[in-house]
Amino acid sequence: MKFLGNKATVMPLAAVAAMLAFGVPQADAQGFFERLFGGGIRHVPQRDFPPPPSRQRPKYKPDATAPAASRISSPSYYTYKSDPLVRVDFSTLTAAPEPAMPLDAAFQPSSATGAAFREAIAGLDSYELYAEKDIAKALVAYYAANPDFIWVTGAGANSRAQDAVRVLGEATSYGLTPADYTVEVPAAGASTGSADARLEELVRFEMALSARVLRYVHDAQSGRVDPNRITGYYDFPVKPLDMEGVLKTLTRTQQVRTYLESRHPQNAEYQALRVELESLQASADDEIVVDPKLLLKPEESSPELPKLLAKIARNLDDEMGGAYGEILARLASSEVYAPELVPVIKAVQKKAGMKGDGVIGPRTVAALVGTSKADKIQKVQVALEELRWLPSDLGSPRVFINQPAFTASYIENGEEKLKTRVVIGKTTNQTSFFYDQLEQVDFHPYWGVPQSILVNEMLPRLRRDPGYLDRAGYEVVNARGKRIPSSSVNWGAYGAKIPYGVRQLPSEANALGELKILFPNKHAIYMHDTPQKTFFQRDMRALSHGCVRLQDPRGMAAAVLGTSVDDIAEKLKHGHATEKVARRIPVYVAYFTAWPDMFGKVEYFSDVYDRDTRLQQALDSTEAVRSPAI
């Protein structure tokens, strides 16, 4: 969707009617209402904010023939199904003595290896090599146009092959599974069998290594799973990969290791996660592991409590030990959360920067106990996979929102110049995982109510009280583009498709607060201010309808517009206005339960939406399909 700044756009009434008659999709609702209502108008004086709603309500008798209540569903999670492997069809290579396809114009065969290759391909007749469909196709196409060995010289594997096999064997250091890329290397030296048998062994090794190298390059660049097939909350473009081009490059270079390693993301965050993974794999196990999903209130009991108390006692400093050491020692084996222990839990919660409510939940366990080694390893491996879905170069400047951390950062030239708390979507209204580009900042914005909120939350009340929107500071437009009173609409006649647009006027009560920062996307997600400031004091801040609420919206607006907070404050004095973001600034609405800070220290967060579990299921599905590797 495109916002038109200060220019008003006149839409044909037929087009308006058609769009409204079929319902404005949530993804396009905001942009549509901006165009329809002239959202790009420069200034609306602040004194024109609507007055407080009247308490008088018109009498309304519900329509007995009204359609049953309907709902617009949120995106769902899917059962991940990996594509089956296919047997590589070498018939086009083995059937004809001449190349099955025109030779590549740049192909320069070695007379010795070229002749050996043409003689060897007969050994592929009964060879059962399985690979992903696109890899199988690229493999045959490449060798049909380039009939020569890449990985074989003379009677054995060459140095290029040795480098490739070593890199594939080091896949664990990238959070990948080495078994996915295993290739049996022919023994060095002359075979004790016939020359034909040796050639067959070598050509099969050639094809197997090329297939696994292509799999490795794909996985390094794009990840092992297709995220968009896990859930509708994921939205990532496909990264193009010229597989034949990969093999051509490997034919021409002796720097195989350098090339293969360059296919991984080339950013500091990926490298920091790799270092963390290596460190974890080399470290000793933590013998005290507490259930990360523990939920315990005073006077309740759990066998996990003694483990939690032991972990707390181990990390006590002198001050805390003097105040609570005796209680911890006396109740060390208690499975009952006794009242005496509540002050202990509150104290250690506050010391960890938490609210200190005395309730033991997942965030308390994570803060007081930390994450177990096994869980950390899984979180880092998941994070490495997710990073492969993003661009290799994350860009500078950029805005990075990490949902499990409940933070948003503005980063420029390797420096985190702003970090602010955020509120993200509730588990029933989850914030999606995607990336886009910032486009504009709206001061004292209108809020175009998404169809999902209009249908799911407003419609039941409107059926009882059709004038509610008039009193609450909203505008309604009909299919002809005319603003009409909410009270004139028979809301009881509609279900999931409502042929009216609704937006909230700028005001102190506006759901978006005093500004919003837009990056047009089909999920209708953006960053904005909020009148509900108290939410930022909570530890668990998954509380919105899906958009990202900022604790410091003025600071973020100043950062992306390249100006000062004082300048933003001045702009806000002049009512509704829009300003374009002049620079290219990518924004990542990301989801990482393990993520490094700007100094490379990896921090761990709770899996708010249980997405790590679902990603692990997708990875397991992929591994199961790949298990018969060759």
pLDDT digits (tens, 9 = 90+) for 253-283: 999 999 999 999 999 999 999 999 999 999 8
DSSP H helix total and E strand total for the chain: 21, 22
Residue 152, pLDDT score: 95
Residue 336's nearest CA partner among 300, 306, 361 is 300
Q: Which helix (H) or strand (E) holds 321?
A: helix 318-330
**528: β partners:** 516, 549
d(CA 399, CA 421): 13
pLDDT digits (tens, 9 = 90+) for 324-378: 889 989 998 999 999 999 999 998 888 877 878 999 998 888 877 777 888 999 9
Residue 96, pLDDT score: 55
Does the structure show a pLDDT above 60 at 87? yes
Residue 315, pLDDT score: 76
Does the structure show a pLDDT above 80 at 108? no
Count of C-beta atoms within a 10 Å radius of residue 469: 26
Instruction: Identify the weakest region by mean pLDDT among 30-39, 410-419, 502-511.
Output: 30-39
pLDDT band at 293; cut points 50, 70, 90: confident
Residue 32, pLDDT score: 39
Does the structure show a pLDDT above 60 at 113? yes
pTM assigned to the model? 0.80
d(CA 432, CA 411): 21
CB 312 within 8 A of CB 304: no
pLDDT digits (tens, 9 = 90+) for 480-502: 878 999 999 999 888 888 889 89
Instruction: Identify the weakest region by mean pLDDT among 14-18, 250-254, 300-304, 585-589.
Output: 14-18
310 phi, psi to nearest 5 deg: -65, -40
d(CA 67, CA 491): 10
CB 360 within 8 A of CB 296: yes
Which residue has better confidence, 426 or 509?
Answer: 426
DSSP helix/strand/coil, 16: helix
Residue 68, pLDDT score: 59
Give the mean pLDDT of the chain. Answer: 86
The one-letter amino acid at 620: D
C-alpha 32 chain-centroid distance = 26
Does the structure show a pLDDT above 70 at 6? no
Which residue has better confidence, 99 or 381?
Answer: 381
Q: Which residue has the tokens 């102190």?
A: 508
Burial class (CB within 10 angstroms; exposed 0-12, middle 13-18, buried 19+) of 129: buried
What are the E-state strand segments in 225-327?
Answer: 234-235
Which two structure tokens, joined as six digits, stand for 630? 């060759």
Residue 627, pLDDT score: 86
DSSP helix/strand/coil, 204: helix
Residue 55, pLDDT score: 41
**418: β partners:** 410
Of 264, 444, 547, 576, the active-site residue reads: 547
Residue 95, pLDDT score: 72
d(CA 237, CA 227): 10
- 547 labelled catalytic: yes
Mean pLDDT value across residues 126-133: 95
Residue 239, pLDDT score: 96
Contacts of 59 by beta carbon, 8 Å cutoff, 6+ apart = none
Which two structure tokens, joined as six digits, stand for 318? 């002198």
Residue 82's nearest CA partner among 209, 181, 217, 230 is 230
Does the structure show a pLDDT above 90 at 58? no
Does the structure show a pLDDT above 70 at 21? no
161-165, 455-459, 490-494, range with greatest mean pLDDT:
161-165
Contacts of 171 by beta carbon, 8 Å cutoff, 6+ apart = 177, 178, 180, 181, 216
**Helix residue ranges per DSSP H, 423-473:** 451-453, 459-464, 468-471
- 528 labelled catalytic: yes
Mean pLDDT value across residues 501-513: 88
- 82: alpha, beta or left? (left if phi > 0; alpha if psi -120 to 50): beta
CB 477 within 8 A of CB 64: no
Write down how long the chain is.
Answer: 630
Which residue has better confidence, 568 or 351?
Answer: 568
**Helix residue ranges per DSSP H, 391-503:** 451-453, 459-464, 468-471
The one-letter amino acid at 305: L
C-alpha 30 chain-centroid distance = 23
DSSP helix/strand/coil, 476: strand
Residue 2, pLDDT score: 36
Does the structure show a pLDDT above 50 at 103? yes
- pLDDT above 90 covers what percent of the chain? 63
Residue 190, pLDDT score: 57
Q: Which residue has the tokens 């990482």?
A: 592
Mean pLDDT value across residues 5-23: 38
Of 218, 528, 545, 576, the active-site residue reads: 528
Does the structure show a pLDDT above 90 at 457? no
Does the structure show a pLDDT above 60 at 592? yes
